[in-house]
Amino acid sequence: MDFDVIVLGAGIVGVSSALHLQDRGRRVALIDRRGAGEETSFGNAGLIERSSIVPYGMPRKLGTLLRYARNQSTDLYWDYKALPAFASWLARYWWESSPPRLAAAARDMLPLIRHSVTEHDALIARAGVSELVHDGGWIEAFHHRATFEREAADAEIAAREHGLRMVALDGAALRAREPAIGEGFCGALHWLDPKSVANPGALTQGYARLFEAGGGTFLNGEATTLRAEHGAWTVETAQGRVSAKEVVVALGPWSDTVFAPLGYRIPLRGKRGYHMHYQPARAMLSVPVVDSEQGYVIAPMEGERLRLTTGVEIAVRGTPPTGVQLERAERLARPLFGLGARLDAQPWLGMRPSTPDMRPVIGPAPRHPGLWFAFGHNHHGLTLGPVTGRLLAEMMTGATPFTDVRPYRAERFE
C-alpha cells in the first residue's frame, strides 16, 4: 500500500489533481470518507464559469450593508451565533474587497479562469461524459432597469477586454429565448462562453472512473488520521494503512481539519448554501439563470428537473440547517420560473470553501516537506478543479507552471 502521492479529498479538485499527477507518472491513492463527488461537488449550480472574471467581493455600498444587517435578504443570511467565529475573516474580506484589491484578485485569478473550459474539455472527452455538459452559457437576469443598464455597460467593456461573448437581452427577448421565464425581469446578459453541467456529482464521478481506469487507487479513509512517520505520510483507510512521500490536502471546506493541527493558520471558512429540485410547471430552461439582484440560481438538471441553489449562509460548521434562504428564494422564484412540486425530501446543504482574499491555496506547505495544498476556491470549485489539478501537478513534478504560482501560495497568510 505504498504510493508516490496520497490525495485527500475526492471532490472535483482532488479527483482532478489525482488525474493530472497520474498523467505525469505518479502512483496515486485518492482517499475520501465517502464516494467521489458526494459533498460540495455534488450540490452546486453546475457552471463552468469562464466569464466570471471578477471574484465575488464583499459589497461595500452602504445600502447593501444595511440590508444585510437587517438579515432579511435572499442572497445572504447570517446566524448571530457564528459572528465571533467569522468576525476576523469578514473584516479581512471587507479589506480585500476594496476596488484596487478586488482588481488585483481578478488579475491573479484570470489565468485560472481563462483555462477553465479547455481543461474541463480535455477531461470530459477522455472520461466520455460529454452528455452531461452543455454549451450555451448562462444568463444573468435583472429586475431594475437602472441596474441592468449599468451592468450591461460594464459587461460590454469586460467582454471586449477579455475576448468573451455576451449578448444583452431586453425583457421580451429574454422571455422569447426562455419561455419558462415569466414576467418580472426587465433584461438580462447572456454569457456564451461558459458551459453548464446537468449533474455535477456525476461529472466528478466520471473523472474518478477515468482515474481508476488508468490504474489509480480509490480508498475510503479518514483524512484526520494523516501522520508523518519515518520520512513518509500515512493515512488509515478501510483497506489498511497507506503511505506516500507526498500528500495533497484537497478537502474543500474540511481542509482545516488537517492543516490546523499541523500549525497552519490559513483563514478558510465555509459559506453554506442549499439546493432543492423542482418539477417544471412550464417549459424547461435551456441554460442556468441567475437572479442577479436576489442572489439565487435556477439551473436545468438531468432528469427534467430544475435546481434552485441559494446564496450565502454564514453559520458555524455543523450547525443544523435552517432552510431560511431556500424558503425566501423559492417564494420569489416559483412564479418567475414556473417551479412545480419539490422533488427532494429535504434540502441539500453544502459549503463553499472560501478565503478572504478570494484566491485559492495551491502549492507546497511552507514547513512540512511533501505536504501540498489545493483548496479554497470560493464559489468556483467546479470551474477551477481541472486547471488547479494541472497547475498543482506541474509544481509537484518539477515542470514549468503555466502561470505564476505566487498569488496562490499558503505563505501569504503568515
**All domains of the chain, ordered by start, with CATH?**
2-41+201-267+356-413 (3.50.50.60), 62-99+130-196+268-354 (3.30.9.10)
Q: Which three cell numbers stand for residue 132?
A: 452531461
Strand-pair partners of 170: 187
Q: Each residue's pLDDT tens digit in the chain (414 positions)?
A: 799 999 999 999 999 999 999 999 999 999 999 999 999 899 999 999 999 999 999 998 888 999 999 999 999 999 999 999 999 999 999 999 999 999 999 999 999 999 999 999 999 999 999 999 999 999 999 999 999 999 999 999 999 999 999 999 999 999 999 999 999 999 999 999 999 999 999 999 999 999 999 999 999 999 999 999 888 999 999 999 999 999 999 999 999 999 999 999 999 999 999 999 999 999 999 999 999 999 999 999 999 999 999 999 999 999 999 989 999 999 999 999 999 999 999 999 999 999 999 999 999 999 999 999 999 999 999 999 999 999 999 999 999 999 999 999 999 998
The rounded distance, in Å, linking the Cα atoms of 413 and 288 is 35
Cα-Cα end-to-end distance for the chain: 35
Chain center to CA of 351: 9
Q: Which three cell numbers stand for residue 364?
A: 507546497
Q: Which three cell numbers stand for residue 316?
A: 458555524
The rounded distance, in Å, linking the Cα atoms of 1 and 239 is 9
